[in-house]
Amino acid sequence: MNESTSTQERTSHGKRRIIIGVSALLVAVLAAGGAVAVYRHSASAQLAEEREACARSSETLRVARNTYDTLHDQDAAEAVKITDKQVADGDTVTVLAAAYKEKTPDLAACNVSGVDQLREAKDRIEQNAAWYDTHTADLSKAVDAVNESHDAKTLKDAKDALSKQLTAAQEKVKGTAGKVKDDRTRKDLKALIGKAATTKSGKDAKAMDAQAKQLKELMGKVDASVKAKQDADRKSAEEKARKEAGAQAATQAQANAQAQQQYTAPQQSYTPTYTAPAQPAQPATPSKPSTGGSTGSVPISGGHGMTGPCDAVCQAEAMKPIQR
């Protein structure tokens, strides 16, 4: 082997090494680039996956929050207006008030960058969704408890009110027999008493309230009918008394007129009488001898049977009227 051939071989061998080295380097570069690409693809996929997972959790939270808000702003808002005096159990009102005032959690969202941040946001969102689920259940239970207690109290009050009106109505019917002007009012009241007694045994508070009101109204009509009869009886009695008084007055007037016609006043006449006062006895006059041959006595002065003149006293007595 000559020197030139040897040189050519060395050159050829060096070229092969260079080629192999370059090839190896290219392979390494390509491998590194592929790894980077793979990594990048994997990271991007993971980020997308976390975003999707966070979005799903956010949607769950949205539904849970809407359910809670609807309950809180509607049914719970009405129930919380009920006071402890309107329920059978006042504790239900206290529990509802506490649940109604619960503070909701802070807002959490998926508008963050990075897988780790997305995972943290997702965790907070899931915790919030769980809070809303739990408190929706608690609030709903508290609302139901208050409403049931309110219904129980309402029913009890309605029964008590109806029972009171029934008792009063029954007494009214018994106490007004024959005392009303229109007996239809008592008949209507009797009919409603029977109907209300059946309603009282049920659970319809509204019907009980309505019939208690109707009973009260009908009792008012019965009272008005009683008063109407009393007024009519009083007027009748007054009219009868006036007629009797008028008849008595007419009878008395007629009797007075007849008595006047039958009475005639007696005629008064006055005839004075005179009674001479007694005179003392006169001594006998001695007889005188007869001169004319005749005998006899001479009459006493006056010649009219009077023994003496009537003095003033005598005349006054004679002028007095005759006593009857």
Q: pLDDT tens digit string along 269-286?
A: 555 555 555 555 555 554
* 210 burial type by CB count under 10 A (0-12 exposed, 13-18 middle, 19+ buried): middle
Closest to 239 measured CA to CA, from 250, 228, 231: 231
**pLDDT given at position 269:** 52
Q: Is residue 119 part of a domain?
A: yes
Closest to 105 measured CA to CA, from 135, 82, 76: 135
**pLDDT given at position 322:** 54
Q: How many percent of the chain have pLDDT more than 70?
A: 68
Whether residues 185 and 122 fall in one domain: no
Residue at 182: amino acid letter: D
**pLDDT given at position 295:** 43
Q: Is residue 268 part of a domain?
A: no
Whether residues 68 and 108 fall in one domain: yes
Whether residues 14 and 137 fall in one domain: yes
Whether residues 26 and 136 fall in one domain: yes
**pLDDT given at position 30:** 52
CB-based contacts of 133, cutoff 8 Å, min separation 6: 64
- Per-residue pLDDT of the chain (324 residues), as tens digits, is 455 556 566 666 666 666 666 566 555 545 544 444 444 547 688 999 999 999 999 999 999 999 999 999 999 999 999 999 999 999 999 999 999 999 999 988 999 989 999 999 999 999 999 999 999 999 999 999 999 999 999 999 999 999 999 999 999 999 999 999 999 999 999 999 999 999 999 999 999 999 999 999 999 999 999 999 999 999 999 999 999 999 999 898 888 888 888 765 555 555 555 555 555 555 555 444 444 444 444 444 444 444 455 556 556 555 555 554
Which residues constitute the domain of residue 230? 176-248
**pLDDT given at position 27:** 55
- State whether the Cα torsion 19-21-24-30 is positive or negative: negative
Looking at the structure of the chain, the number of domains it has is 2
Two tokens, residue 212? 């208690």
* 212 burial type by CB count under 10 A (0-12 exposed, 13-18 middle, 19+ buried): buried
Whether residues 240 and 195 fall in one domain: yes
Whether residues 91 and 191 fall in one domain: no
**pLDDT given at position 129:** 97
Question: What is the value of pTM for the model shown?
Answer: 0.58
Which DSSP symbol is given to 277?
P
Domain boundary among 248, 272, 293: 248
Q: Is 203:151 a contact under the CB 8 Å cutoff?
A: no
Whether residues 39 and 141 fall in one domain: yes
Whether residues 180 and 142 fall in one domain: no
